[in-house]
Chains A and B, each alone.
Chain A
Amino acid sequence: KAGVTQTPRYLIKTRGQQVTLSCSPISGHRSVSWYQQTPGQGLQFLFEYFSETQRNKGNFPGRFSGRQFSNSRSEMNVSTLELGDSALYLCASSLGTGGQGEKLFFGSGTQLSVL
């Protein structure tokens, strides 16, 4: 079956702009999590959506937001972009049952560059 699809793959924006990233999870998966990956900090958890509701949230400012649609597709939005927002943004889909055995399937990511 098809994997996790993230669009676009690459994005270049300038400071102050806003950006929207999209993620289509594996069919049947109801949970979508978003991570930010940078060389300095590694992967950091942004938030998780399950059945159109934000179930968990990491320690990122309110400029980072997201939503999930009824078909489980998810978008994340970053407003008032800063240079430090340059990163690879990864989304991961899972069944959403939670617990220690939960398997995450990652997309290839969106590489965001803020100039």
Chain B
Amino acid sequence: TQLLEQSPQFLSIQEGENLTVYCNSSSVFSSLQWYRQEPGEGPVLLVTVVTGGEVKKLKRLTFQFGDARKDSSLHITAAQPGDTGLYLCAGLLPSGYALNFGKGTSLLVTP
């Protein structure tokens, strides 16, 4: 059973467009992380959010943790080809010891 559901599964957009990726669950998490993985490489941590309602910005990327700490979103403004990759959300349950990963959203940004 997948604790975290990500949508959409695939996204293909043109440079300059905005997009939002969602990460949803029925479980409450003590923290949630977003990673980006490029082909042939391991995931790279982008951000960690720990407080319900928290919003963090990383240049053109905006991350939000839901008020109930069950969901999160990643918004990219004016996407660039360099944003292409697999975006993974991962949550830590309050009683957990390991990250639970979603299956990811594969993003392709074309010039």
- Is A48 an interface residue, CB under 8 A from the partner? yes
Q: Is the interface of B mostly helix, strand, loop or mixed?
A: loop
Contact B92 A48 (CB under 8 A): no
Closest 3 CB pairs of A and B: A106-B42, A100-B31, A42-B103
Residues in B70-110 with C-beta less than 8 Å from chain A: 88, 90, 92, 97-104
- A42-B2, A100-B48, A100-B92 known; A90+B98 contact, CB < 8 A: no
Q: Is the interface of A mostly helix, strand, loop or mixed?
A: strand
19 A-B pairs with CB atoms under 8 Å apart are A33-B98, A42-B88, A42-B102, A44-B101, A48-B97, A55-B97, A56-B98, A58-B98, A90-B42, A90-B43, A98-B97, A100-B50, A101-B48, A104-B45, A105-B45, A106-B42, A108-B40, A108-B41, A109-B42
Residues in B31-70 with C-beta less than 8 Å from chain A: 31, 35, 40-45, 48, 50
Q: List 18 other contacts, CB 8 Å, given A45-B99, A100-B92, A108-B42.
A: A42-B88, A42-B104, A43-B90, A43-B101, A44-B101, A48-B97, A56-B97, A58-B98, A90-B43, A98-B97, A100-B31, A101-B31, A101-B50, A106-B44, A108-B40, A108-B41, A109-B41, A109-B42
